[in-house]
Structure 1
């Protein structure tokens, strides 16, 4: 037995260390606790006392023979504690109840090794991020929350002590066993974060465990396989390695785990593991540091301890060193025999035995085992995998993502209209979730090649390359290093292109990069999980603030604690309903309406997007493009938006012109378009036209006048199958209208009668006029105006007029089987006849998009004209156009925007949205609405006119506004 007490360490301790003053095992009702402990100990046999020292391995995925072994250990050898290993939660709960029923006097203390949650050992349970990821988070309240949630999950399955957190300071990047399990290399940060984690877990009634004392962070070998050596001086160990342990003890951590390490400065025998050293455990841990909590050995089956002597001798040595519980002891029967022999010889006192047994019993009382109740198996998996966990996980990752280099303010990405972006994958794991989320913001091309030269050639046309480095997220010990080939490719790409490197692996992977000179931006996302990939992509586009700080240093390039904080650009993010105060359960009612749409053939398919407070939380594509069910609807598929064109294309151009004082809402039409002088429309103003209060006819069926009066087919004089100078207006596939007919349409509108009755009448004609005004002011076509001014900067890469010029025809959902005008399937050609006769670019129709893109522009409106770092409109402009000017005559319309009903007979909305809300509907089965009061954006797209526009089931059912009502009903706060 080593009785050496290092003088230097003792002196240093006296000067710098405050011994723990509080007993962390003391219950609030400590008198009752002491009475319970004393009553148990008094009636225990020596064998029963010795049995309390063992915590043996139990599995819930093994056969009956293993269960019989555990049963025998409990009943015959009085083993008092179990550590559950691999298996499933339901089986573990069942076995826990079974084994607890076997104990005669005192229930079992159940331990578990769940550093990042139950997923560390049990299938079908929740996985939280590794400690290294948590170490980058600056808000320690979040670490307290994750500790609490892990504690709650442990308690739910009957676990009383969880062997977490790791408080080792990972000062050695080559550490093979700690690494990602550590909170980092800063002793202060490790202490603060581990204390927060501990506080949370113990608040849930589960004992925490600080490990691995006195510090396993600076080792180059794995104690599971050998005995690592710590070669530092006593002073260094006291100053660095012991620092977080001291802070933990002061804060009340319930237990500690002693490590299997060779520490010559603390233990004279270099072959004696620190876990078996009396000087380390009794003199330093218990004596000098004053720790009064429960002391566990690390697993005694590990090579770091197991190679020292026989199992029974190792167990005895561990106990004599000062440990209370022998974790995973080998050869329990012979150990009991040896303990009894030592007691009989006087080499071990019963007082020493009672000391540890009483501590163990105090811990059991603290864990509620004085009144054990069987664990319920009802709703077990549901309780262990909750929305609450998802919300917390998202917050953890959002707060962890770290930007360490940002030349030219590369991140977050601005001015999307100027960027041509490629994605290149490095590493040996997948990055699909990252890429798919990137593509929700703008066009991203995935570029690859088998050789570097070919790749560099392909990348020449791009001015930004996102390189994602993806490594396995299976466990924290998986390899994180770059392959040599990847390092070469990274540097060569960076020499030739602007590069943003996003690392989905340990930050230590950056150590391999010899120079960051040519790498313009570096982001550390820590783990290659689905949620990390998705949120990192959102962060790059400015969907939320970036706050993370590096938990470790990277050579001389980046220091621990370094990280560039960046503000959100208020682009749409992607989350879950509860993150924005909506109920997932209640939003499932949307699914029921979708089922009705499909069953009753209201439309063959569609898309629904719901966003709140800037986060898309419901995004579903359903059904098929047509009734033949050959192509399922994808999120990227685009629909004919019909009249949504009015507020998504024409209106924003009018708003910008008005804001820039290029036109006035009160200007007479003849001042804006001289052709209207001396007509019945010369005195109309924009405010009247946009409010549908200008006495214009609802529409003019221009196409009918181009049909042969005898056959009902298109006039051979006006149409051709091939394009020419005289026939260049493409109205459908292989169908061209006479070029001069655009002027005829303008003449028809100009000469049309006004309605005699003054009042509200919805009219498309005003938007033919608006298109002429806008194009006259800009001196360019409407489709080019909106692309350059709005869609490209906003990142609307799935929005366009004339979609077949940009997209594969398979991505464009068919609209109708036209049997009255064009006599063909309309796919990629605007359904509206008048817009088609304008070449597919109308002010009232012609736009195609997917629901995700529609949500972006609606969110911009909702954010008072701001989106992606750009103020597209001043707030007063949005307010001006979202105002009703003729409500006194029961006209519900704003300027361009539709508004909630005034007349109860009208049903533009569910009747449950605020008066400030706005939106529009479209003839083809489209609808979008935004509400500043609730923060909700809703988009519904379908091709309800398929197979023909006679299909009015969707319209008659009001299903679009019923879905809107379901969304409103889902608001929980």
Structure 2
């Protein structure tokens, strides 16, 4: 303080706007103000975190007194900077009940601030938004209830200040009940002093009593508090008499931006700054002309309107704030790992969780949501207001087969007619209202054409769910909502909001949100229906289910090592606990990149050849379902089910022994060798280059097999010898037979039975055989180059030679799918046969098939693998004794640990380009990741 000149003490009271996305001339102008005048602080607006930090390091190095740095970051740093996680709008969170989470958000926002070298956040917005026509507050407010606004503001404020960042409540005395934007004009507040005292100022007063550090004064004309028409920012009766004397506030008082028309339309720059100081403000934000303002302040002191003591008192307050913020021990911002540090797993978890809690269900006729019986739905999504696939649509596709449609907000009559016709075949339509506006003057983006279409869709016999991805007030602009079967409000169009809306529709979590404002007589403050959670997979974070938040980073490390070692070109990894997917991530590429060419990256929607997982993901669910229907028993023999085997050495083999691999069957038979000549070429008798009635079985691209081959393989199995010694020998052979058994017992082909009884009810759209019939090659991950039998890269046709001879349809191999869809089936196993509100397999049946049958001499369950004792590498070292799963030759794996409530999926094509690559097993990649998941549970507990 003693080192500053009188002019420099004045300059400490000014905060100048700064941007990191502008030109050098703009940056230099701020530097000039710092070096020539010694301004006290900066308020950063748009830009990027690294660019801003470099710029701030430069500015701080130029300042004699370290700069106080602020940001108008109401929903976190991501409000202003790219590449930073964004938290929901305040109104989005206005209806959640877990206010403690807002404290957590406050501490995380403060951590982001500190990492960026910032000290003051112009938040929270404490305005009570009780005017739907408010053009400037709206979604920035917690809502219309004073107690709710107060408590949420307090938690956010306290979280920030406990973590060392000053909270600045705004916009005093309350900007919620206005219909004018103070950026453009001076709003008039037409309420009496009693109303202001009991409503608008209520939360401000409460926060002041509970430790509020900063207050921002709004630009408002409030006759009840100052009859002169002076903007509240410049009003001594409001700032000094009311705030400081009557309310006893001793914190730092900031003006709202001094370049707003609410001020400068009445008082020019310089004069407005002097009046703001005369009114009692401590810090002037965004002054339009610093040199002129300082000059006019000095002139006011000379005239005796202001005193140097007034300036000194405020300067000391600013310096004290700087010391509280740690600027007496200033250090430049460390740029290394800055973006990563700003986006930790905890911040992303908080943002997702807050979005989940906020989604509000307003209508749910006949308890339509969560959607039941996916196998009965003909589902379509309609995104109104966009032509691009939305995050909502992508998430819907993760749950069920769906067709997507798009329509502009103002379609032509022809477009409306065509859309009605296109949607007619579907019995359930999920409508998303996208790109909605925030302004009342635009009906919040809801157009007349949108209303026409929704009215006509609602009049049809189709079920319709309407999702509002915008302001809660937009609900009242959507006419005929009563014609919709379900209506939900997500409040904004963020990725989290859209994905959580889709998850709610399918029942991955239960609706909990409440309306923070009244939007109509029917939908008033506090309204919100509840639904039952846990119907289907939920997508969240480790912290949702008490797991270590570092799990993803640790899995990333293992996968980075695997890819660097070329153990596999790529992979999909999925980990879930208690039905919540905490990690779903794709790594690497479809194939190893060729020189000069880029390989296709793996995506979550891609399909892998599941290899031997087919046994437990196709054959076993079919057998268990048949057992539930009384058509199958593992205590019968092969001869009882297969007449072809009655006169063979397989006739008396019990299925229980067969399914646990101790019946004496050979491990495998290389059938394909019987169908090539001595030169290794395909025998013309059995193969053709094109399909026909006699050659209907696709073995590979351009290779079709004779229809008699399946019967020949069954005959060969029957004629094969049994093992000389009894005991456990893993065998594929019986699984060749189960598709034939299913068809005989049900009258349906194996793949049709699975699709109708298991996969469609699960919404597992990718699980199936011969995927080229249903999906483009671009989504199918190639397996190996078969240099001996088919002599081509296998892309979309099964890797296993025996399954190929059956046309890709077998019980031991041939199933394709994504990790997401396989997880639905595996979660069904973890849930005791229940998923999506349906008991697809009886709990007792599943328990029987997953228990060890002949321990300790044989670790196997009925078809499923189980931990070896002592550990033998088939699973993680710490997998529980009750856990079960399976692995596949192509580099696939899944495991269920019931004790830890874990589900784990790993899909890869380690055989690309050659099956001789065993590095995936040598490095224990699959089981190592499972061990990490187990440790993530154990460490958190």
Q: TM over 0.5, yes or no?
A: yes
Q: 1:576 touches 1:618 (CA, 8 Å); kept in 2? A: no
Q: Match for residue 962 of structure 1?
A: 925
Structure 2 distance, partners of 1:247, 1:137, is 21
Which of 28, 33, 54 is the equivalent residue of 2:14?
54
The aligned residue for residue 411 of structure 2 is none
Superposed displacement of residue 846, structure 1: 3.0
Q: Secondary structure at the match of 2:481?
A: coil
Deviates more, 1:698-707 or 1:562-571: 698-707
The aligned residue for residue 333 of structure 2 is 376
- Structure-2 change in CA distance of 1:675 and 1:177 (3 Å): same
Contact 1:429–1:470 (Cα < 8 Å) also in 2: no
Cα offset for 1:681?
3.6
Q: Given the superposition, is the C-alpha separation of residues 205 and 689 from structure 1 closer, same or farther in structure 2, using an over 3 Å criterion?
A: same
In structure 1, what is the equivalent of residue 456 of structure 2?
492
Name structure 2 gaps, 5 residues minimum: 408-413
Q: Which has the larger radius of gyration?
A: 1
In structure 2, the residue matched to 1:892 is 859
Cα deviation, residue 715, structure 1:
6.1
What TM-score, normalized to structure 1?
Answer: 0.85
> In the alignment, is the contact (CA less than 8 A) between 1:610 and 1:936 conserved in 2?
no
Shift of 1:410: 2.8
Q: Deviations over 1:735-768 (max 9, x none)?
A: 7666566555444444544333211112222224
Deviation track 1:701-759 (CA, whole Å, cap 9, x = no partner) reads 555556679997436389896534x7666656777666566555444444544333211
Judging changes above 3 Å, is the alpha-carbon distance between structure 1 residues 246 and 968 closer, same or farther for their aligned structure 2 residues?
A: same
Which among 263, 266, 277 is matched to residue 319 of structure 1? 277
CA distance in 1, matches of 2:678, 2:288: 99
**Which residue of structure 1 aligns with residue 894 of structure 2?**
928
1:451 alignment partner, SS class = helix
Distance 1:107 1:734 in 2: 73
Equivalent runs, 1:408-557 vs 2, <5 Å: 408-428=366-386, 430-448=388-406, 451-471=415-435, 480-496=444-460, 497-557=462-522
Q: CA deviation at 1:692?
A: 0.7
Q: What displacement does 1:646 show?
A: 1.0
How far the C-alpha of 1:300 sits from its partner, in A, is 2.1
Between 1:924-933 and 1:788-797, the stretch displaced more is 924-933
Give the count of matched residue pairs.
920
Within a 5 Å distance, the mapping from 1:758-907 to structure 2 comes to: 758-808=726-776, 811-813=779-781, 828-889=796-857, 891-902=858-869, 907=873
Superposed counterparts of 1:214-253, under 5 Å: 214-253=173-212
Between the aligned partners of 2:598 and 2:43, the Cα distance in structure 1 is 53
Residue pairs, 1:309-348, within 5 angstroms: 309-332=267-290, 335-336=293-294, 339=297, 343=301, 347-348=305-306
Q: Cα distance 1:703–1:966, how it changes in 2: closer, same or farther (>3 A)?
A: closer
Contact 1:864 1:878 in 2 (8 A): yes
Distance 2:723 2:382 in 1: 60
Contact 2:559 2:925 in 1 (8 A): no
Find the aligned partners of 1:478 and 1:251 in 2 and give their Cα distance: 39
Which stretch shifts more, 809-818 or 494-503?
809-818
Alignment of 1:159 with 2:113, yes or no, is no
| 8 Å CA contact retained: 2:221, 2:231 | yes
Distance in 2 separating the partners of 1:142 and 1:887: 48
Gaps (5+ residues) in structure 1? 1-39
- Contact 1:578–1:584 (8 Å) recurs in 2: no
Query: After the TM superposition, which residues 175-214 of structure 1 pair with which residues of structure 2 at under 5 Å, given as runs?
Result: 175-214=134-173
Distance 1:367 1:745 in 2: 78
In structure 2, distance between residues paired with 1:523 and 1:730: 47
Tell me the CA shift for residue 795 of structure 1.
0.8
Q: Does 1:403 align with 2:372?
A: no
Matching of residue 617 in structure 1 with residue 605 in structure 2: no
Is the Cα–Cα contact under 8 Å of residues 259 and 298 in structure 1 kept in the other structure?
A: yes
Q: Which moved more, 1:150-159 or 1:814-823?
A: 814-823
* In 2, Cα distance between equivalents of 1:958 and 1:680: 35
* Deviation for aligned residue 1:690: 0.7
Q: Shift in Å at residue 895 of structure 1?
A: 0.9
1:644 aligns with 2:613: yes
SS of 1:852's equivalent in the other structure is helix
Instruction: Give the C-alpha shift of residue 166 in structure 1.
Output: 0.8
CA shift at 1:420, angstroms?
Answer: 1.2
Task: Assess, with a 3 A threshold, how the Cα gap between structure 1 residues 374 and 754 changes in structure 2: closer, same or farther.
Answer: closer
Deviations 1:847-885 (A, max 9, x none): 222332222212222233232222333444333222222
**Distance of aligned partners of 1:69 and 1:674 in 2 relative to their CA distance in 1, 3 Å threshold:** closer
**Equivalences for 1:102-117 in 2 at 5 Å?**
107-117=66-76
Q: Which residue of 1 aligns with 2:410?
A: none
CA-to-partner distance for each residue in 1:403-452, whole Å, 9 max, x for gaps?
A: 22222333222211111111111114744322222222221111347611
Is the counterpart of residue 149 in structure 1 residue 113 in structure 2?
A: no
Relative to structure 1, the CA distance from residue 736 to residue 59 in structure 2 (aligned partners, 3 Å threshold; closer, same or farther) is closer
| Deviation digits for residues 160-219 of structure 1 (CA, Å, limit 9, x no counterpart) | 322111111112222221122111122222111111111111111111111111111121
Offset of 1:402 from its aligned partner?
Answer: 1.9
**In 1, Cα distance between equivalents of 2:97 and 2:349:** 18
Supply the distance in 2 between the matched residues of 1:814 and 1:101 (Cα, whole angstroms). 56
Which region of structure 1 is more displaced relative to structure 2, 808-817 or 256-265? Answer: 808-817
Q: Please name the residue that 1:390 is paired with.
A: 348
Q: Secondary structure at the match of 1:446?
A: strand
Tell me, yes or no, if the aligned pair for 1:538 and 1:544 is still in contact at 8 Å: yes
SS of the residue aligned with 2:483?
Answer: coil
Which residue does the alignment assign to 1:573?
A: 538
What is the root-mean-square deviation in Å for CA atoms of aligned residues? 3.7
Distance in 1, matches of 2:689 and 2:186, equals 87
